[in-house]
Amino acid sequence: MTWPRMDANGRKFLIGLISCALALGQQPNDTATFKTTTQLVVETVSVKDKSGKPVEGLTAKDFTITEDGVAQTIKFFEYQKFEEAAEKPAPPVARMIEPLKKLPFSQISPEPPGSIKYRDRRLLAMYFDLTAMPVPDQLRALDAGKKFIRTQMTQADLMAIMIYSGAAVQIAQDFTDDRDRLLSILETMIVGEDENADTSNDASTADTGAAFGQDDSEFNIFNTDRQLAALQTAATMLGRLNEKKSLVYFASGLRLNGTDNQAQLHATINAAVRAGVSFFPIDARGLMAQAPLGDATRGSPGGLAMYTGASANASLTNFQRSQDTLWALASDTGGKALLDYNDLGKGIVEAQHSITSYYIIGYYTSNETLNGKFRRIKVALNNTLSASLDYRQGYFAGKVFAKFTTADKERQLEEALMLGDPVTELTIAMEVNYFQLNRAEYFVPVAVKIPGSELALARRGGAEHTLIDFIGEIKDEYGSTISNVRDKIDIKLSGETAAQLTKRPIQYDTGFTLLPGKYAIKFLARDAETGRIGTYQANFVIPNLMKEDKRVPISSVVLGSQKIDLSDALYTVKKNAELNVNPLVIEGQKLIPSVTRVFSRNRDMFVYLQAYERAAQSTQPLVGFVTFYQGQEKFYETVPTAVTDGMDAKSKAVPLRFTVPLGKLAPGEYTCQVTVLDPTNQKAAFWRSPVMVVP
């Protein structure tokens, strides 16, 4: 018989309960079930003296550990000691005449709670993000991995190989010290095979013109959410092991742009901290020397920016932004990023040296509430012992969202909105725009997009329904809540549209009236059938266009490929006063923002924005056009369109509308630029955004 985890008094109490049950006439074949839940918290603590050497010989009695100020009882204690003597370089893998076959993918083998599987071994995982590296960078990353395994791997090291090619995280090799096998895995990775191969499975699906928009592969093109979600999955896999883990992340930067979800970044970092994983990102591009006006691989930029230095500064800024996320992943998980360095193997060595001999301390937390809140941990040495301690400062508690009553469901959403550890079970994309209403106020339409394939269908009354709950809030730069939204939709679908839901996103929109300033928006969507929640979090700025005097003051630019009637059930959630001020509603039709900026070349692109002529009594002529660039080369430009009327008397807004036939563009990635010229006042305004044209 296996006893639950309890002391002697607890066992006596359990025996008494069983005896009472038998005395009351319970039959022997009747089963009494007793359930208990415990949450094991594991801390890896490095203890070093003044000279930086590990302190050995400590016991559990030498440590005091508290969680949120409450003392905890240490139930598990181990010391991990590493032998640092380097082994001889491994001989090269024997070459065979026939090509090497790909080895089967495995899994990270878990260990029972409270036990140590890899005693006195250092755990290093090499993670290759093939979607974030072009072929030359993949070659450098693989060579760095092979060099480390051959010449720098020690007796204490165990290596694992993880691969992300766009579909899922694959474990090419569990932790092992078999150098030949590790080298064989790296040799069988075909360079360039999976580059940017991210869920294009629906690209060949016929576009029926339904109101859903493009398929859900568009969610993977212009944001880093899927790459960060894959990292979160990798950290969770490694969290099955109690030992300290280092994940060496090879990527060519992570591109940042307007569709990034900060909630996913927070969730990835929190998952790594909870799993005891430190990220060591390596920029596989190495040290790059960029010519200010471009090198021979591309044409030089034109215009005034080439002579003022603005073009060179923008190029440098974009490069630095691509490294920001790598730096954040490392600093927030206790790792270190290797940036602007040609010897990529140094990053692996730094991950290796970061794990020295350490203590593993485990306790069963006295706070068993699964509320998802942050719990602060403090570890200290008792008596007069003096040393520096390095350990995880806290963790986010687990969270369980089960089937609730109506009141419980409402509380669940409110609590999820306040969590520091965002829930990212559903994929969400969001676009925030702004349009000036008067001299002080701006209308801010918010468009939210969710892949239909992630939502569950419920059958009610013989029809298919999609049930979604929404909650969100906007805070200013001081953390005060300025506005919020709470909505619920029950979308009734016909048989045809229900079948398309698995490949077509659903879009929801709402609007706010705000003043100029800096804001943060946090928005949650919940599938009411399964309870799965997605979170989107981002910062945005509403500029004060009244102070704009050097350029033509313009609103946000909205790109879309659909105009629908307001009666469309998929998008019109409820009719409210905001529709009267929403500039995207024109003559009973609404322009649907693309959000993900992915367009089919079989449909036209609609471009809408407003220019503001504050001092004019009537419309002053404006000229606008749309240009598409690939790199610095102009690929296509619309005919300049003159606007001579349409000014709103109150907001002084002049609407500019363009229809761009995308059939003239080949599939690929472009930079879309909208140019507005004011010949009367000799001013101009420019707006740019990356877009993707698909077949």
Answer yes or no: is 114 within a domain.
no
Q: Provide the H-helix boundaries in 276-405.
A: 305-308, 310-331, 345-354
181/153 Cα distance (integer angstroms): 14
pTM for this one? Answer: 0.69
Q: Are residues 432 and 492 in the same domain?
A: yes
CATH of the domain at 174: 3.40.50.410
CA distance 558 to 599: 13
User: Which of 400, 423, 456 delimits the end of a domain?
Assistant: 400
User: What pLDDT is stored for residue 301 in this prediction?
Assistant: 56
Q: Are 139 and 128 in the same domain?
A: yes
- Indicate whether 76 and 10 sit together in one domain: no
Assigned domain for 653 exists: yes
Task: Name every residue whose Cβ is closer than 8 Å to that of residue 521 and which is 6 or more positions away in sequence.
Answer: 430, 432, 446, 472, 473, 474, 475, 536, 537, 538, 539, 540
Give the pLDDT confidence score for residue 276 in this predicted structure: 87
Domain boundary residue, one of 374, 400, 426: 400
Cα 451 to chain centroid, rounded: 15
Rounded CA-CA distance 150/128 in Å is 18
Given this model, what pLDDT does residue 15 score? Answer: 45
Q: Domain for residue 518, yes or no?
A: yes
For residue 584, being part of any structural domain is answered with no
- Does residue 131 form part of some domain? yes
Shared domain check, 323 and 239: yes
With the CA atoms of 542, 476, 260 and 559 taken in that order, what torsion angle do they form, in degrees rounded to the nearest 10? -30
Token representation of residue 30: 């009747």
How many domains does the chain fold into? 5
Structure tokens at 304: 């005034």
Same domain, 536 and 625: no
**Per the domain annotation, does 345 fall within a domain?**
yes
Boundary (domain end) residue, out of 373, 400, 427? 400
CA distances to 118, 120, 238, 240, 432 from 110, rounded to whole Å, are 11, 17, 8, 5, 43
- Chain-centroid distance of CA 153 in Å reads 32
Parts of the chain with a pLDDT under 50: 1-30, 32-36, 85-90, 92-100, 194-215, 403, 569-577
Could you identify the residue written with the tokens 């969710």? 450
Q: What is the pLDDT of residue 132?
A: 80
How far is it, in rounded angstroms, from Cα 590 to Cα 562? Answer: 8
**4 and 20 both lie in a single domain:** yes
- The confidence score (pLDDT) of residue 576 equals 47
Q: Are residues 148 and 254 in the same domain?
A: yes
Structural domain contains residue 214:
no
Query: Tens digit of pLDDT for each residue in 623-661?
Result: 999 999 887 788 889 999 898 888 888 888 899 999 999
Read off φ and ψ for residue 323, nearest 5 degrees.
-100, -10
Which helix H or strand E contains 216, and what residues bound it?
Answer: none
CATH of the domain at 394: 2.60.40
**Tokens at 32, concatenated:** 């009494």
Q: What Rg do the C-alpha atoms of the chain give, in angstroms?
A: 29
Tokens of 139: 């070659």
Q: Is 285 within a domain? A: yes
Q: Does residue 409 share a domain with residue 339?
A: no
Asked if residue 131 and residue 173 are part of one domain, the reply reads yes
Count of alpha carbons within 13 angstroms of residue 95, beta-carbon side: 2
Can you give the pLDDT at residue 311? 60
Give the whole-angstrom CA distance, residue 362 versus residue 38: 12
Tell me how far apart the alpha carbons of residues 516 and 479 are, in angstroms, rounded to a whole number: 16
Give the 3-state secondary structure of 660-688: EEHHHCCCEEEEEEEEEEECCCCEEEEEE
Same-domain check for residues 455 and 529: yes
| Residues 486 and 531 reside in one and the same domain | yes
Structural domain span for residue 9: 1-36
Same domain, 388 and 463: no
Whole-number pLDDT of residue 192: 52
Q: What is the pLDDT of residue 111?
A: 75
